[in-house]
């Protein structure tokens, strides 16, 4: 199957691209490299360097590739920047996504797998765990823009027959994650401890998140190729984990028992608590999270230890 992966040089989507290629799919990647890295791009994929906000560029890619399926990860995904620059956030996450949808209709693409957000869309939930049917009350522009595209997808299916699946991610972590990215607390703690600097916790360490390892997320993207027509799925572990628990786990696995965190004020737009109900994905997508937090943390730490060694060799 011909697949176009937007944001395919980034942390999560590059893993998805690798899995699609390993599964025998013909993959093209579109990325502007603002967050992703060319080193993440699979050498067996065709790479297009450009922006989804450039309608002519997007159209040219569709003309060349004629994709049968689109995996749409490309986004402005920095919650704090979205708060500071809501127009910029909307220009990418809404208008850029509309460029993708318009081309999908024009070129008769059969399916879009759209990557949305859970915590930023649901806002402060009324009850835990949060199911897909819970109220959507985003408290940041990022959450608004990511959720808005879900409405466009529903409309495009009604108007044009464009099929889709929405994956609302929890807090994804794993190899290739950037400490600068959204939900990058594993990366931040690893890099800070390995560099010998004092790790920073925003707030008092009691914020609760639902962490899911990148390999589990990849399997959801594989399942969504064939299953879940017109459905929305939470993709997470379904387990509550505090910032301090992540800090303690990373410190233990790195053998840094003497390290203590620095507590600083929370950042604007951060919710207090989120944990997701993944029963729908288990039933309809036939997907379930398999990697425990300790297993995932161990693999993540190996990646950052190797990256630190490589950096030392360069220096």
> Annotated active-site positions, please?
142
166 strand-pairing partners? 114, 232
Alpha-carbon distance of 87 to 60, in angstroms, equals 26
Question: Would you state the structure tokens that stand for residue 9, as one six-digit string?
Answer: 């040089």
Alpha-carbon distance of 244 to 238, in angstroms, equals 18
Give yes or no for a contact between 177 and 143, defined as CB atoms under 8 angstroms apart: no
Alpha-carbon distance of 243 to 260, in angstroms, equals 13
CA-to-CA separations, 54 to 32, 47, 58, 75, 172, in angstroms, rounded: 11, 16, 6, 13, 28
Give yes or no for a contact between 254 and 301, defined as CB atoms under 8 angstroms apart: yes
């Amino acid at each position: 199957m011909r697949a176009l992966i937007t944001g395919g040089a980034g942390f999560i989507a590059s893993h998805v691209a690798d899995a699609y290629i390993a599964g025998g799919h013909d993959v093209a990647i579109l990325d502007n490299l603002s967050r992703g890295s060319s080193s993440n791009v699979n050498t067996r994929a065709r790479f297009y360097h450009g922006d989804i906000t450039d309608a002519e560029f997007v159209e040219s890619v569709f003309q060349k590739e004629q994709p049968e399926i689109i995996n749409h990860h490309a986004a402005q995904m920095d919650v704090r920047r979205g708060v500071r620059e809501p127009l910029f956030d909307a220009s990418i996450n809404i208008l850029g996504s509309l460029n993708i949808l318009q081309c999908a209709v024009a070129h008769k693409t059969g399916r879009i797998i759209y990557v949305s957000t859970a915590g930023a869309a649901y806002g402060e939930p009324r009850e835990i765990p949060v199911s897909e049917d819970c109220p959507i009350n985003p408290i940041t522009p990022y959450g608004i823009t990511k959720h808005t595209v879900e409405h466009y997808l529903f409309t495009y299916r009604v108007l044009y027959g464009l099929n889709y699946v929405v994956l609302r991610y929890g807090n994804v972590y794993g190899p290739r994650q950037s400490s600068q990215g959204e939900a990058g607390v594993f990366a931040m703690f690893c890099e800070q401890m390995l560099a010998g600097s004092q790790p920073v916790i925003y707030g008092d360490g009691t914020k609760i998140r639902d962490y899911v390892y990148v390999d589990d997320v990849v399997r959801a993207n594989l399942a969504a190729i064939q299953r879940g027509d017109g459905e929305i799925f939470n993709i997470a572990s379904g387990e509550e984990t505090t910032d301090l628990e992540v800090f303690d786990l990373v410190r233990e696995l790195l053998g840094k028992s003497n390290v203590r965190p620095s507590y600083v004020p929370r950042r604007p737009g951060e919710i207090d608590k989120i944990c997701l109900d993944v029963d729908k994905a288990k039933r309809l997508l036939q997907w379930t999270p398999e990697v425990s937090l300790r297993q995932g943390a161990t693999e993540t730490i190996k990646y950052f230890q190797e990256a630190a060694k490589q950096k030392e060799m360069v220096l």
